[in-house]
Amino acid sequence: MRVTPSSVASAHTADCVIFGFADKELRVLLVRRAVPPFAGDWVLPGGAMMDRETLEETARRVLLDMVGVKNVTLRQVGTYSDPDRHPVRRVVTTSFYALVQPKHHAPEARGHAREATWHAVSAVPNLGFDHDRLLRDAHQRLILHLRTRPLAFELLPERFTLTEAQLLYEDILGEELDRRNFRRKLQGYDFLMETTEIRSGVKGGPKLYAIDHGLLAAALSD
C-alpha cells in the first residue's frame, strides 16, 4: 500500500541509552518522569522527533534538553514499532547508545524529567514503557561491538592501568578474561601509549597508560 495523506500516522521518537563506567561498574543514565504516562517511573531519556529533524538530531536535542548531555558519539541500536508500546497513541521509537565518562557528564533533570541519575546496570529498577527491552538490547549491542572494536577505551579515564582496563571489559562482558591474552591484545593497539607514570598507592606501582584519541577515532572508524 502506498503512502497517502489518509495513511495511518504515528509519532516517531528517539530514546537514548547512555552508558558510563564508575566505581568499577557499568552504569546507565536514567530519568524519572514528572508527567503521565508512567509519571514517577524511571525511563531512558527520550522525546519526539520534530519537523525537519533527523532521528539523530532528535536524540542529541533530547539529551541536551533533558539531562544536559552533549558532544557524544551515538550508535543506533534498533527501531521498535509494537502497536501497543505507548498507552496514549501509536509511537515508533529508534534507540541509540553512547559511551561517556560520568565525571564529565553530571546529569541535570530538565523538561518532563524530575530526576536524572546514574544507575548500576546490574541494579536498574523496572522501567516505564518498553524501556527494559531497549536497555537490554543496547547492552547486548554494546557487548557485541566490544568483541570486534575497542569501544571500551571511551569509558576509561585519561590515565589507567591494564588491570583497570581488564576489569572494565570483564564487567561489561560478564566473563573473566585471560590476563596474558588480554594484555597481548591491548598492547597491539597503536593508540595505547605507555606513560612514565605509575599508579601510586598500589602494590608494585603498576604503569599507567593513556590513549591517543586521534588514533582511537581512526580505529573505531575502520
Domain spans of the chain, in order of start: 11-146, 151-221
Domains 11-146 and 151-221 share a fold: no
Q: Give, for all 222 residues of the chain, the pLDDT tens digit.
A: 443 454 457 889 999 999 999 888 999 999 999 999 999 999 999 999 998 999 999 999 999 888 888 888 899 999 999 999 998 888 999 999 999 988 888 888 888 889 999 999 999 999 999 999 999 999 999 999 998 889 888 899 889 999 999 999 999 999 999 999 999 998 899 999 999 998 876 666 689 999 998 998 888 875
Cβ atoms < 10 Å from Cβ of 48? 13
CA gap 96, 124 in Å, rounded: 18
- Looking at domain 11-146, its CATH class is alpha beta
**pTM of this prediction?**
0.90
Closest C-alpha among 92, 90, 76, 82 to residue 137? 76
Q: Which fold has domain 151-221?
A: Arc Repressor Mutant, subunit A (1.10.10)
Cβ atoms of 203 and 216 closer than 8 Å: no
Cell of 207: 604503569
